[in-house]
Structure 1
Amino acid sequence: MSRKRFDYSLTIFIIIFLVSIAAPVNLFKVPPVMFFMMSSLNLSIASAGFMMSVFAIMGIALALPSGFIVHGLGLKRSGIVALGALMIGSFIGWASDNSAQMIISRIIEGVGMCLISVIAPAAIAVWFPPEKRSIPMGIWATWVSAGSILMFLIAPAMNSFWGWKSVWGFSSLYTLVMLFVFILFFRMPDTLNESINEEHGGDDESSFRPYSNTSIWVLAAVFVIFNIMVMAICTFMPSFLEIQRDFTPEKASAVTSLFLVASLIISPVAGYIAYRIKSYKKVILCGIFFASMGVALPFVVSDKMIPFTLILLGSFAAMIAPAAFSAAAEIMKYPSHAGAGMSILAFGQYIGMCVGPALFGELIEHAGWVTAALMLIPIMLTGFVLVFFIKVK
């Protein structure tokens, strides 16, 4: 029985990873064609920016309820709802001819991404036992980077040949295919109840009341801080390179993408390290400490050193997410409560995504680029201290 479960878990992981990519594919289809979309729909730059921030706003609103949704509907039906929302929202955007319709489409897509960010790691937690969970979590943690890099690579070419709406056509069709794949091949493990009894016997109160577990909330606070840093770098580094270092827009985007490319390599490695040393906390501590030490470097080094510092910063940052998702599953004790844990972690993620650009923008405006970057250091070190209060190995 366990052999059958392990074999199909690999299939499940491939499905989950490909399905997860549908969310950032839909999220990041805007930046590569933003100028053309603004011209076509008569949008201001503020309105165009809102097309991105609405995802984070929906995440904050739905992250905690999503835990109850997933618990009530189950992972498969919740996944169908999530992919359905992404697909419907993308189709509406594809057919939109004004800003109001486009914003509605983005709100619907935001619902889908929020649910995916809870369902996917919960499914991994259910299908992989704790001792085998770190590596798939590490690989899955590249989902946002993989989807965003894909869109940054193909969207400009599609826009050149078929116009900016062809990007919405691609995201719609990709999501539709993933919906059919998910319906056909995703299922829950036959041994779920048995594995719960074997792995987590006992009557720990926190396992029966997942939302009262202090450690998961502390981990979510760490994730707020982590995402503040990530969004600050991803949002403002291109502008810094263009304004302060006279990079061309194309070069500024390419150099900034190195921060994300690093995670494609390091996240799986971090998952493997956590598996080998049997400690999620040590990996998180290492990642957040060295990321805090390097977060200001891209803003102070010479032009030639900026790519190297972004790769270095992205590498340390990439250690945090896979260990955090694995730690969340471990903190929640029972696989059946994984959805609740992931929803709390997602709540922290979306708060960080929303606060990060606004906070860093204010710091830049009032203190300048370098001082703003330096102020990220104590923020990150606060997260480092919080990790010590998380009750997980």
Structure 2
Amino acid sequence: MSKKSRAWIPVWAIIIASVFIAFEYGKVPPAAPNMMEVLGISYTTQGLMMTMFSIAAVVMALFGGALMDRFGARKVVSIALIVSIVGNIAGLFWTSDVGILVTRALEGCGYGAAMTAGPGIIAMWYEPKKRGLANGVWGANVGFAMMIVTLSATPIMENGNWTGMWVFGLVGAVLAFLLVIVCVKAPAESERKDLEESAGGKEDSEKHGVLWGYLAPLSLLSAVMFFLVGGSTDAFNAFTIPFLNVENGWSEGAANLCATIAAAGMLVGGTAMGLVLARTKDKGMLLFVDMLVCAIGLFLWFNLDIGVVGTYVVAFVLGCFLGAAPTVFFAMAPEVARSPKTVGAATAVVVLGQNGGTLAVPAIVGMILDSAGYGAAAIAIGALSLAACAICLFAFRRIYNKSNRSTLE
């Protein structure tokens, strides 16, 4: 098998593995009502189940990035996935509140490691012009996983209880582990496609401390932007159904369909952005325009009153732009690293921004909703996205373009 033809195996293995391990993230909402009935968990515990998972993913991303730079992605991700599998199995039996939260933290380890490894593996095997489809699908991986979980949850819950979703997540984790251990590997040093593109060029990372890779300016700026616009997207996802169902009086089915249409838009936008990004020179401007459209859409979303069909159309279009932003952040992570040997650390910082936004922004928006309503919430998430636009235009784009010029020289 030629070098060119075998490159797709590790790349698509980590992409598919990331979809499988994301089942662990998405299994809780469908199972939660039954868990409340059978196990007696509270709403607080239900929320903490997602929080513990995300915290573990953040911690794993931070430490895992440096470990991957040193020991390789396959070893680190495989071990983290084993931890997730153990946590999942334990969660089927350790059903006290403490047990549920501890096992959810264990499950988050594999998710955090896989999400950190993907962009670096894609960059190692594909040169920038050939990463479009892979980066696009990677940016939409969690959304794709959520759709699979949602579609699978109905028959599972109709014919069983919450343990069915845990078994579903376990199957996903095992499949992810098998894909990683069998198929994921790095190319030989002489065959790597990412050695000349990082912002730091050929600078030797070994003479610097561990934090050097984490403190790359462009990585930090990417993380802040991802925190702002990604967190706003999570708030959009979290409160769209209540807004339509409770605030606007839509039926539950119509509100759920609107959320599904928005999710479909995110998948389309994420995949399309990967193809566009690979052919765009001024990537900073592309990111700015995308986030500006997101900001405008978010300012308007919780104030819409244009009928069902019109709302569906807006939901799909806005979903396309919201789904495109993560593709850019993940695709550019290897490029904004200080050196090829710190790609894992740079990606970890970006993942930290993503998960930080998931943890913080929906909670803040929820408090705004309780005190001031949806109009104020729309202003909040729109303003956060505008702040990301300002960072992109006045800081990130300038530094990124300057780094590219110096690398070419």
Structure-2 residue corresponding to 1:48: 46
Q: CA deviation at 1:78?
A: 1.0
Residues 126 and 192 of structure 1 are in contact (CA less than 8 Å); yes or no, is this contact kept in structure 2?
no
1:66 aligns with 2:74: no
Give the deviation of 1:301 after TM superposition: 1.8
Give, in angstroms, the shift of residue 193 of structure 1: 6.7
Q: In structure 1, the residue corresponding to 2:114 is in which secondary structure?
A: helix
The aligned residue for residue 311 of structure 2 is 306
Residue of structure 2 in register with 1:392 after alignment: 400
* Partners of 2:62 and 2:317 in 1: CA distance: 33
Q: What is the alpha-carbon distance in structure 2 between the residues aligned to residue 275 and residue 195 of structure 1?
A: 14
Q: Counterpart in 2 of 1:284?
A: 287
Q: Which amino acid aligns with 2:365?
A: F
Aligned to 2:233: 230
| CA deviation after TM superposition for structure 1 residue 70, in Å | 1.8
The DSSP-based 3-state class of the residue aligned with 1:300 is: coil
Contact 1:281 1:323 in 2 (8 A): no
Structure 1 match to 2:344: 339
Q: Which residue matches 1:122?
A: 120
Match of 2:404 in 1: none
Return the alpha-carbon distance in structure 1 between the equivalents of residues 193 and 29 of structure 2: 44
Map 1:354-393 to 2 at 5 A.
354-388=359-393, 389-390=395-396, 391-393=399-401
- Report if the CA contact (8 A) 1:146-1:264 is conserved: yes
For 1:195 and 1:366, locate their aligned partners in 2 and report how far apart those are by CA, in whole Å: 51
Structure 1 length as normaliser, TM-score? 0.93
Map of 1:140 onto structure 2: 138
Contact 1:196 1:334 in 2 (8 A): no
Please name the residue that 2:255 is paired with: 252
Give the Cα separation in 2 of the matches to 1:349 and 1:20: 15
Deviation at 1:349, TM superposition (A): 0.8
- Please give the per-residue CA displacement for 1:112-161, whole angstroms capped at 9, x wherever unaligned: 21111101122112212223223311111111101111111111211111
**Greater CA drift, 228-237 or 297-306:** 297-306
Separation of aligned partners in 1, 2:372 and 2:386? 20
Number of equivalences: 391
Structure-1 separation of matches of 2:192 and 2:230? 36
The Cα of 1:216 is off from its aligned counterpart by 1.2
Identity of aligned residues (%): 21
Secondary structure, counterpart of 2:304 in structure 1: coil
> Is the CA contact (8 Å cut-off) linking 2:223 and 2:349 kept in structure 1?
yes
- Residue 194 of structure 1: CA displacement? 6.1
Indicate yes or no: 2:91 matched with 1:93.
yes
Q: CA RMSD in A?
A: 2.2
Aligned with 2:9 (options 11, 14, 24): 11
Aligned to 2:277: 274
Shift of residue 10 of structure 1? 1.2
Q: How does 1:20-31 map to 2 (within 5 A)?
A: 20-31=18-29
Q: Which residue of 1 aligns with 2:325?
A: 320
In the TM superposition, what whole-angstrom CA distance separates every residue of 1:158-192 from its partner, at most 9, and x where no partner exists?
A: 11113221111122123212312321222211245
**Pairing 1:148-297 to 2, within 5 Å after superposition:** 148-192=146-190, 195=193, 203-204=202-203, 209-297=212-300
CA contact 1:284–1:320 (8 Å) conserved in 2: yes
CA distance in 1, matches of 2:387, 2:372: 21
SS at match of 1:246: coil
Query: How many Å separate the matches in 2 of 1:300 and 1:358?
Result: 20
Q: Is the 8 A contact 1:134 1:274 kept in 2?
A: yes
- Among 105, 108, 111, which residue is 2:109 paired with? 111
Amino acid at match of 1:259: A
Q: How many Å separate the matches in 2 of 1:187 and 1:205?
A: 23
Q: Contact (CA 8 Å) 1:283, 1:320: kept in 2 or not?
A: no
Q: How far apart, CA to CA, are the structure 2 residues paired with 1:202 and 1:107?
A: 37
Counterpart CA distance in 2 for 1:301 and 1:196 is 44
What SS does the aligned partner of 1:188 have? coil
Deviating above 6 A after TM superposition, structure 1's stretches of 4 or more consecutive aligned residues are: 205-208
Q: 1:289 to 1:205 in 2, by over 3 A?
A: farther
Whichever residue aligns with residue 38 of structure 1, its letter is M
| CA drift at 1:95 | 2.9
Whether the 8 Å CA contact 2:201–2:338 is kept in 1: the answer is: no
Q: Distance in 2 between matches of 1:344 and 1:366?
A: 33
